[in-house]
């Protein structure tokens, strides 16, 4: 059936078992909300309209999706999944078909959804089911002797009725279905709350389809994890590991060397060149690019960073919003903040922080230093304990350190200030004025030694 496709995403639930002020669909998985994963899979189908049904935490959910093209529909009060579907269907026209997905099944693949939608026509309803070893908690698919789907019985209702036959069924309802829109609207209008929960069940439309003579076609996902829901933090953690196993496998297949595939977290997009090595405990978020022959040491955190060819990032380093050139050495215990742009062969050592600064080829800051709002030339040596004092309490100012400058240890460069090409700043200096090229600039108090000085003695009671 080649018809216009609309999508309803059910995202109104509170998620009580999460024990969190954050709505369930906004709980993070691999760096994105659960709901964002579901919406990404839906978007690949290019629906004409996507309606997100919201309820609990409506302000948080709508804020999280600000700027998206989805339509929001408020379910208030919340009276079950059938009611939520009817609310979501309100802004959708009767032409075409409607796909219903849940906002807490983040691993559903767009290919699986497309296959389900392809089964639908004017007289066919499509349901995504799954055969599970342990079906506890899921609605069961009830079929007749010919194998036709008759209805879905929720787990709680089967328990309440002591229905051992239904409880023994392993084929479960995923909560994902597709139907002709016009028929679905009429079916939802006929729902009644005759169940253990006293709610309108979306699953009751399956029995209606059977009674109305519609064929109930079924499809199954390639993997059980595709339809895994998230109801508590334990399930969320298990799904996180599932996602990360998949990310690690993709990296390994592309030729990346992982010290331990079980100890890497990709929470965004990680792009790797040839012969990249990643040690244990590293976290990647945003968009990170590691070029050829990059080595990342253990327990590093990289976010929105590009690392050039043949560069090594040593252990415990934190890089965010930065670019690093080729052949550079970073860390251990280095921090590159937003706007740090490092050229080729730059060295940033232990406990050095760089923010909104450019360092040209061969510049070095190897120990215990801060470079903020600075422009650093080629081959500069920046001494241990030195800082750029870039903030006057109201505004930021820039420090310019030209090529081949040597800044001694424990210096303070008070911006705005320029250190000329080839200049030297003596250790312990506080520089407040521009320093000329090629000169030694020293600004520190005169040393005084008082002979025979006796330190105060500790008083005794």
Residues that are catalytic: 367
Q: C-alpha angle with apex 405: 402 to 410, nearest 5 degrees?
A: 115
Cβ(227)–Cβ(213) below 8 Å: no
User: Would you state the structure tokens that stand for residue 332, as one six-digit string?
Assistant: 């251990």
Distance CA 307, CA 313 (A): 9
The alpha carbon dihedral of 207, 208, 212, 213 has a sign of negative
Tokens 């496998």 found at? 249
What are the phi and psi torsion angles at 29 (to 5°)? -135, 120
Encode the chain in three state secondary structure: CCCCEEEEEEECCCCHHHCCCCCHHHCEECCEEHHHHHHHHHHCCCCCEEEEEEECEHHHHHHHCCCCCCEEEECCCCCCHHHHHHHHHCCCCCCCEEEEEECCCCCCCHHHHHHHHCCCECCEEEEEEEECCCCCCCCEEEECCCCCEEEEECHHHHHHCCCHHHHCCCEEEEEEEEEEHHHHHHHHHCCCCCCCCCCCCCCHHHHHHHHCCCEEEEECCCCHHHHCCCCCHHHHHHHHHHHHHHHHHHHHHCCCEECCCCCEEEEEEEEECCCCEECCCEEEEEEEEECCCCEECCCCEEEEEEECCCCEECCCCEEEEEEECCCCEECCCCEECCCCEECCCCEEEEEEEEECCEECCCCEEEEEEEEECEEECCCCEECCCCEEECECCCCECCEEECCCCEECCCCEEECCEEECCCCEECCCCEECCCECCCCEECCCCCCCCCCCCCCCCCCCC
Answer yes or no: are the C-beta atoms of 270 and 248 closer than 8 Å. no
């Amino acid at each position: 059936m080649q018809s216009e496709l609309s999508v309803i995403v059910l995202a109104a639930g509170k998620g009580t078992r999460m024990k969190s002020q954050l709505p369930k669909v906004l709980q993070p998985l691999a760096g994105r909300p659960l709901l964002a994963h579901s919406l990404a899979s839906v978007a690949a189908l290019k629906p004409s309209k996507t309606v997100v049904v919201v309820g609990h935490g409506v302000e948080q959910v709508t804020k999280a999706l600000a700027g998206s093209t989805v339509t929001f529909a408020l379910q208030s009060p919340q009276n079950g999944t059938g009611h939520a579907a009817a609310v979501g269907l309100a802004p959708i026209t009767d032409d075409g078909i409607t796909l219903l997905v849940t906002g807490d099944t983040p691993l559903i693949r767009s290919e699986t959804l497309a296959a389900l939608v392809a089964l639908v026509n004017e007289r066919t309803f499509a349901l995504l089911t799954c055969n599970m070893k342990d079906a506890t908690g899921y609605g069961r698919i009830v079929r007749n002797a010919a194998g036709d789907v008759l209805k879905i019985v929720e787990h709680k209702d089967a328990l309440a009725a002591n229905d051992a036959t239904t409880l023994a069924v392993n084929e479960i309802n995923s909560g994902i279905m597709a139907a002709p829109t016009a028929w679905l609207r009429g079916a939802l209008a006929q729902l009644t709350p005759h169940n253990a929960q006293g709610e309108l069940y979306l699953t009751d439309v399956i029995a209606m389809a059977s009674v109305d003579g519609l064929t109930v076609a079924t499809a199954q996902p390639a993997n059980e994890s595709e339809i895994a829901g998230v109801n508590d933090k334990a399930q969320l953690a298990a799904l996180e590991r599932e996602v990360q196993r998949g990310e690690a496998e993709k990296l390994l297949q592309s030729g990346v060397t992982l010290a331990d595939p079980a100890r890497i977290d990709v929470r965004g997009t990680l792009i790797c060149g040839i012969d990249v090595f990643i040690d244990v405990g590293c976290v990647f978020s945003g968009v990170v690019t590691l070029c050829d022959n990059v080595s990342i040491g253990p327990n590093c955190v990289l976010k929105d960073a590009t690392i050039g060819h043949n560069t090594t990032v040593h252990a415990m380093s934190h890089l965010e919003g930065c670019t690093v050139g080729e052949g550079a050495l970073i860390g251990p215990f280095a921090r590159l903040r937003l706007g740090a742009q490092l050229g080729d062969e730059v060295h940033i050592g232990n406990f050095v922080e760089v923010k909104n600064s450019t360092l040209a080829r061969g510049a070095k800051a190897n120990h215990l230093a801060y470079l903020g709002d600075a422009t650093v030339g080629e081959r500069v040596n920046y001494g241990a304990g030195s800082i750029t004092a870039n903030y006057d309490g109201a505004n930021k100012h820039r420090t310019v350190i030209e090529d081949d400058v040597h800044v001694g240890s424990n210096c303070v460069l008070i911006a705005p200030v320029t250190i000329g090409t080839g200049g030297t700043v003596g250790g312990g200096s506080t520089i407040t004025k521009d320093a000329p090229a090629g000169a030694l600039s020293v600004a520190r108090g005169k040393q005084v030694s008082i002979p025979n000085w006796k330190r105060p003695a500790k008083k005794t009671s």
